[in-house]
Amino acid sequence: MVIGVLALQGSYNEHIAVLRRLGVRGVEIKKPEQLNSINGLIIPGGESTTMAKLAEYHNLFPALREFVKLGKPVWGTCAGLIFLANKAVGQKEGGQELVGGLDCTVHRNFFGSQIQSFEAELSVPELAATEGGPAHFRGIFIRAPAVLETGADVEVLAAYLKSAEVYFLFIF
């Protein structure tokens, strides 16, 4: 099995390193044609505006949308989540292009500037039940996005609660 990691900008090296630890082959994806040879795709964290610009320069959006439509598994972390959302708010002037495919609305950089970045323990009982492992996961929120709404078909695996509102984090 070969997993592609979108390697335009951001923490793609870290994702490839984790794949290597798991014994899975990870390859860098920088061009549209490279998507043809992979079984699944990870869109890593980074600066989503930058990643969108670079994807636009090299005409990656049509190929990425096609890949999502094929139903092959796609994982989005942080900026990758923004890429996969059907709708995003809090963007730069003029907006930014999205890949879409995940029925939700994302708020970019929801918590504020770096001073508001934080760590928190998240409860992940379903993951623990189905995959094993601990019932908690340490989440690091660096200028993180939040999911404001999700469609009916989206299953929420974990949520972080702040001032009585719920911000969803992991959606597949």
Partner 1 sequence: MRGLKDSSSPTEMSGSGVVTVYGNGAAITEAKTSPFSVKVGLAQMLRGGVIMDVVNAEQARIAEEAGACAVMALERVPADIRAQGGVARMSDPQLIKEIKQAVTIPVMAKARIGHFVEAQILESLGIDYIDESEVLTLADDEHHINKHNFRIPFVCGCRNLGEALRRIREGAAMIRTKGEAGTGDIIEAVRHVRSVMGDIRVLRNMDDDEVFTFAKKISAPYDLVMQTKQLGRLPVVHFAAGGVATPADAALMMQLGCDGVFVGSGVFKSGDPARRARAIVQAVTHYSDPDILAEVSCGLGEAMVGINLKDEKVERYANRSE
Q: Which residues sit at the interface with partner 1, rule CB under 8 A? A: 7-14, 30, 45-47, 49-50, 53-54, 57, 78-79, 90-94, 108-109, 112-115, 117-119, 140, 142-143
Q: Tell whether residue 47 is among the known ligand binding residues.
A: yes
Residue closer to partner 1, measured from CB, 107 or 170: 107
Nearest-5° angle of CA 168, CA 16, CA 158? 15
Buried b (16+ CB within 10 A) or exposed e, 72-107: eebbbbbbbbbbbbeebeebeeeebebbbbbebebb
Q: What is the closest distance, in whole angstroms, from the C-beta atom of residue 137 to partner 1 in the complex?
A: 14
Q: What is the closest distance, in whole angstroms, from the C-beta atom of residue 58 to partner 1 in the complex?
A: 8
Residue closer to partner 1, measured from CB, 42 or 78: 78
* Token duo for residue 172: 């597949």
Q: What is the closest distance, in whole angstroms, from the C-beta atom of residue 89 to partner 1 in the complex?
A: 11
Distance of CA 71 to the CA centre of its chain: 16
Q: Tell whether residue 38 is among the known ligand binding residues.
A: no
Q: Tell whether residue 46 is among the known ligand binding residues.
A: yes
Q: What is the closest distance, in whole angstroms, from the C-beta atom of residue 5 to partner 1 in the complex?
A: 12
The sheet with strand 74-76 has its strands ordered as: 25-29, 2-6, 40-43, 74-76
Q: Tell whether residue 48 is among the known ligand binding residues.
A: yes
Are 68 and 101 in contact by the 8 Å Cβ rule? The answer is yes
Positions at the binding site for L-glutamine: 46-48, 108, 142-143
